[in-house]
Amino acid sequence: MQNQCIFCKIIDGQIPSATIYEDEDFKVIMDISPAAVGHAIMLPKKHFSNLFEMDDNTASRALIVARKVATAMKEELGCDGLNMLQNNGEAAGQTVFHYHIHLIPRMKEDTINLSWQQKSYGDGEAAKIAEAIAKRIL
Ligand code: 5GP
Ligand code: ZN
């Protein structure tokens, strides 16, 4: 637990939250400022600032929990879709530096905007970048 971390305080019960799911490794709560009704955030109980710091064990369990909660959300809310998204670092829009996954229920006609302007690669550029990144994978 990190003393100044708001999500660690929520996990510890010092700050109340509307909790959807909890097990030994994760707590899933309602986001306090939701993009849509039912917007949830999934918090590992261990403090990791972001994906880069996360351990393999927590990472491998995260998607299983996310799928279970997302399925329950879809059934209960009757949403047409759901975005699972996760910000790492200020540049990527992260505002709370305790790793978390957003689960955002989506309706066909909602006005939530997660779009970006699409760019394009020059000849051979994508392959070159792919090769360079691949060399660093441990
Ligand atoms: P980020 O921008 O870091 O990806 O997302 C942080 C999220 O945490 C935001 O959607 C914000 O509304 C939510 N949040 C921040 N403080 C609290 C809090 O005290 N309680 C809950 N339930 N959500 C919070
Ligand atoms: Zn924390």
| HEC sequence for 49-82 | CCHHHCCHHHHHHHHHHHHHHHHHHHHHHCCCEE
Instruction: Please tell me the predicted confidence (pLDDT) of residue 113.
Output: 95
In this structure, the residue with its CA closest to atom 17 of ligand 1 is 32
Catalytic residue numbers read: 100
Instruction: Please tell me the predicted confidence (pLDDT) of residue 31.
Output: 98
Helices (H), 1-138: 6-12, 56-77, 125-134
Instruction: Please tell me the predicted confidence (pLDDT) of residue 2.
Output: 86
Assigned domain for 99 exists: yes
Assigned domain for 95 exists: yes
Which residues in the chain come in under a pLDDT of 50?
Answer: none
Token pair, residue 40, equals: 């949830």
Assigned domain for 127 exists: no
Assigned domain for 114 exists: no
Assigned domain for 137 exists: no
In this structure, the residue with its CA closest to atom 20 of ligand 1 is 32
Any atom of ligand 1 within 6 Å of the Cβ of 87: yes
6 Cα nearest atom in ligand 1: 19
Instruction: Please tell me the predicted confidence (pLDDT) of residue 56.
Output: 96
Assigned domain for 91 exists: yes
Cα–Cα distance for residue pair 62/133, rounded to 1 Å: 24
Assigned domain for 18 exists: yes
Domain range enclosing 85: 6-109
How many domains does the structure of the chain reveal?
1
Ligand 2 centroid vs 63 CA: distance in angstroms?
19
What CATH number did the domain enclosing 78 receive? 3.30.428.10
Instruction: Provide CB contacts within 8 A for 48, sequence distance 6+.
Output: 54, 55, 58, 98, 99
